[in-house]
Amino acid sequence: MKNIIAALCIFLTVSLAGCSFGAKNGIKNEESPRIINSGTKEEVKNKVTFNYQSNSIDKKDNSGKVLLKWSYSYPVFKFSQDNGVAEKINKLIKSKVDDFEQNLFESTESLISNSEIVMRVPYNGIFEVAVRRCDDKVIAVEIMDSRFTGGAHSMENYTGITIDAKTGKEISFDNLADNSTKLKADVSNSITQLCLQQSYKSKMMNESTYINIDEYIKNNKWYLSDSGVVLMSNPYEVACYAEGSVKFTVPYEKISSLKKNYSYEGNYKIHSRTDYEIAKDLNGDGSEEKVLVSGRNSQIINLKINNKDYLEKIADMDVEDCYALDYNIVDLDKSDKYKEIAIEVRKDPMKLSKPVYGHKVNDFVGKTYFYRYKGDEDLEYCGCIDKLVTDCSTDYRKEKLIKNTVSKTNTSVISIEEAKKVIKENAKNFKSGYTLHYSQDLKAKDFNIPEETYMFFCSDENETTAAVYMVGKTSKNLYIGPSNGDPYFNLMKDGKAVKRYSIIRK
* Mean pLDDT, rounded, of the chain: 81
DSSP secondary structure letter of residue 266: S
> pLDDT tens-digit profile of 225-244?
999 999 998 888 888 877 88
State how far the Cα of 173 lies from the Cα of 299, in Å rounded to an integer.
38
> pLDDT tens-digit profile of 299-331?
678 899 999 888 888 876 766 667 788 899 999
Segment (H or E) for 34: strand 34-37
State how far the Cα of 182 lies from the Cα of 175, in Å rounded to an integer.
12
CB 426 within 8 A of CB 478: yes
State how far the Cα of 298 lies from the Cα of 254, in Å rounded to an integer.
33
Confidence class for position 47, pLDDT limits 50, 70, 90: confident
State how far the Cα of 142 lies from the Cα of 232, in Å rounded to an integer.
10
128-145 b/e with 16+ CB inside 10 Å = b?
bbbbbbbbbbbbbbbbbb
List Cβ neighbours of 332 (8 Å cut-off, separation of 6 or more): 338, 340, 370, 372, 382, 396, 397, 401
Rounded (to 5) percent helix, strand, coil in the chain: 20, 35, 45
State how far the Cα of 384 lies from the Cα of 369, in Å rounded to an integer.
4
CB 137 within 8 A of CB 224: no
Assess whether pLDDT exceeds 50 at residue 10: no
CB 28 within 8 A of CB 56: no
pLDDT above 70 covers a percentage of the chain that reads 81
> pLDDT tens-digit profile of 171-218?
999 999 999 999 999 999 898 888 888 888 778 776 554 568 888 999
CA distances from 196 to 201, 272, 275, 277, 460 (A): 6, 16, 15, 11, 35
Which residue from 392, 387, 396 is spatially nearest to 139, judged by alpha carbons? 392
According to DSSP, the residues that pair with 492 across neighbouring strands are: 478, 497
| Region of poorest pLDDT, from 20-24, 212-216, 398-402 | 20-24
According to DSSP, the residues that pair with 366 across neighbouring strands are: 346
State how far the Cα of 274 lies from the Cα of 324, in Å rounded to an integer.
7
State how far the Cα of 331 lies from the Cα of 269, in Å rounded to an integer.
7
Confidence class for position 468, pLDDT limits 50, 70, 90: very high
Assess whether pLDDT exceeds 50 at residue 26: no
pTM, 2 dp: 0.75
| Residue 94 DSSP SS3 | helix
pLDDT (0 to 100) of residue 194: 86
Would you tell me how many other CB atoms lie within 10 Å of the CB of residue 167?
Answer: 12
Which residue from 279, 381, 390 is spatially nearest to 324, judged by alpha carbons? 390
